[in-house]
């Protein structure tokens, strides 16, 4: 049995560990680790500490902003078995496939280019630049973060969007309804991908085989469910979309949603 991988994640307000995990990007890695049944332990990192963590570990950022300046994001893992740090959820999935070949493969070699294309297509559909998922979820995410992260989150997101979080999707507004309809349309387009060729499938590879593309979709479905709650009007609406496809996907992933208690980052 390999030594536990260190998995850096972002916490939110929670009474129990299972409610701490919320970020769709870090959920992609948590799902990957759980599907592969690899041992790991979570280190919880508040937003303002992510850059300091990278610099302490001597890890370069995998992303750059519009000005070319580095952007420090999670997920990030450290594998003590190989003494390697890896950031970016897709890169982590590929690393885990290569390093632990006896576990379920998330990005089969013959689908590697298709997965790269999928990531670009998914980003274009869910974040088209004129409204939709991010506009709707940013203010909802903000109020659920720990105070240690809220100031950083508000400042950076308001810089990105050029407006206050409160103005992105005010409850009861036509603007909010427009964003929600855009989210519905995005999921409907993905449903069309899964029905290509006239075949009905829950997972991209067909049958019961889960791949990284499925993990990406499940992470965003889970973001809605975990943010608004299973009793919310929003989640009930999602369950009605595309003949109940997204509720079925969420149920299929429940067995991969274990969250350890973890420990806070110590810089």
Q: In the predicted model, what is the mean pLDDT of residues 256-266?
A: 97
pLDDT for position 257: 97
Per-residue confidence at 18, pLDDT binned at 50, 70, 90? confident
Domain 5-105 CATH (choose: 3.40.50.20, 3.40.50.620, 3.40.30.10, 3.40.50.2300): 3.40.30.10
Q: How far apart are the first and last CA of the chain?
A: 28
pTM: 0.96
Q: Do the first three CATH levels of 5-105 and 111-255 match, i.e. the same topology?
A: no
Candidates 71, 223, 44, 227; CA nearest to 159 is 71
Q: Delimit the domains of the chain by residue range.
A: 5-105, 111-255
Q: In the predicted model, what is the mean pLDDT of residues 52-73?
A: 86
State how far the Cα of 19 lies from the Cα of 133, in Å rounded to an integer. 21
pLDDT, tens only, 218-255: 999 999 999 999 999 999 999 999 999 999 999 999 99
Q: In the predicted model, what is the mean pLDDT of residues 32-39?
A: 98
Domain 111-255 matching CATH 3.90.1170.50: the answer reads no
pLDDT for position 66: 61
**Per-residue tokens: 145:** 């973060």
Q: In the predicted model, what is the mean pLDDT of residues 143-159?
A: 96
Q: In the predicted model, what is the mean pLDDT of residues 138-146?
A: 97
């Amino acid at each position: 049995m390999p030594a536990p991988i260190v998995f850096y994640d972002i916490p939110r307000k929670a009474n129990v560990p299972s409610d701490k995990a919320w970020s769709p990007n870090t959920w992609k890695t948590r799902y990957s680790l759980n599907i592969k049944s690899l041992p790991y332990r979570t280190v919880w990192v508040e937003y303002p500490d992510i850059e300091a963590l990278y610099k302490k570990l001597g890890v370069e950022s995998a992303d750059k902003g519009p000005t070319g300046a580095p952007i420090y994001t999670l997920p990030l893992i450290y594998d003590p078995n190989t003494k390697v740090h890896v950031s970016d959820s897709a890169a982590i999935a590929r690393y885990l496939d290569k390093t632990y070949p006896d576990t379920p493969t998330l990005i089969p070699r013959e689908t590697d280019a298709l997965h790269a294309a999928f990531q670009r297509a998914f980003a274009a559909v869910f974040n088209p630049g004129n409204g939709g998922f991010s506009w709707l979820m940013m203010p909802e995410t903000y109020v659920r973060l720990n105070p240690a992260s809220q100031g950083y989150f508000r400042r950076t997101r308001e810089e990105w969007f050029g407006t206050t979080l409160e103005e992105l999707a005010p409850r009861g507004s036509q603007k909010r309804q427009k964003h929600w309809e855009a989210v519905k349309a995005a999921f409907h387009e993905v449903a069309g991908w899964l029905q290509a060729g006239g075949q009905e499938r829950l997972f991209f590879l067909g049958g019961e085989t889960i791949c990284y593309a499925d993990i990406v979709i499940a992470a965003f479905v889970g973001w809605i469910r975990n943010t608004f709650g299973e009793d919310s009007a929003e989640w009930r609406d999602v369950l009605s979309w595309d003949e109940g496809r997204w509720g079925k996907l969420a149920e299929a992933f429940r067995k991969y949603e274990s969250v350890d208690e973890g420990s806070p980052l110590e810089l």
